[in-house]
Amino acid sequence: MVLPTEGKVLDIGCGYGVIGIAIAKRNPGLRVWMTDVNSRAVSLAEENTHRNSVRVTILQGSLFEPVQGETFDVIITNPPISAGIAKIVEPLIRDAFPHLNSGGSLQLVVQSNKGGRTVSALIEETFGNIEVVARGGGYKVFRAFKKNELKGGCGLVLLRKSFSSCSAKSSPFSSSSGDALSGEKMLITFKKASRSLQRKRQRLRRQRARLTFVD
């Protein structure tokens, strides 16, 4: 795990709380949240936090349901691959993106020979980047950062919501002089960027389809 010195960390699918409790004990400047769908796991996690004298927020619910409206600097998980990549792991990865602050990271533990390549492709398709920060015993820890899709301080995710979310100076829809482009030129530029991103995603989907049969 690679952690900041302060901020919010989410341990999703925490089980009885080993990872989240270890983070809280070693990093007192972090605010740690832990969630699990299983009521017994949540009960054990609460008991273990008391035994270890750490303060964390523990919630019960499926995936990101208990933390709607919250964003984090790091999301850590050891997902249950056996429960199904399409059912659990894929929505976990995709929904992690909007629950991360800008520059935040998803860190995910996976067994290399059990869905590792498929999970890797899913992360890269969603985040546009991926790296292996640890490996051993047949396992890997993947990390991906929430970055902007376009240069100039504004990503496509934001741009789809509102063109006004960036200033003219920082927006990719600005002229070399810093003035905002006209509506027509802005639309052309946006369409070009969207097509480029779409082509990249199509390549990643084809790669993922091939990798699915390898796992």
Residues 137-195 have pLDDT tens digits of 889 999 999 986 433 333 333 333 333 333 333 333 344 444 444 444 444 444 555 55
* pLDDT confidence band for 31 (50 / 70 / 90): very high
Task: Quote the pTM value.
Answer: 0.68
48 Cβ contact list (under 8 Å, min separation 6)? 16, 17, 18, 21
Please report the pLDDT score of residue 215 as a whole number. Answer: 40
Mean pLDDT score, 27-31: 94
More confident of the two residues 209 and 136: 136
Q: Residue 90: its pLDDT value, please?
A: 95
Query: Where does residue 193 fall: left (phi above 0), alpha (psi -120 to 50 degrees), or beta otherwise?
Result: alpha
| Domain extents in the chain | 7-147, 156-206
Average pLDDT over residues 130-139: 92
Fold of 7-147: Rossmann fold (3.40.50)
For residue 52, is pLDDT > 60? Answer: yes
Give percent above pLDDT 70 in the chain.
68
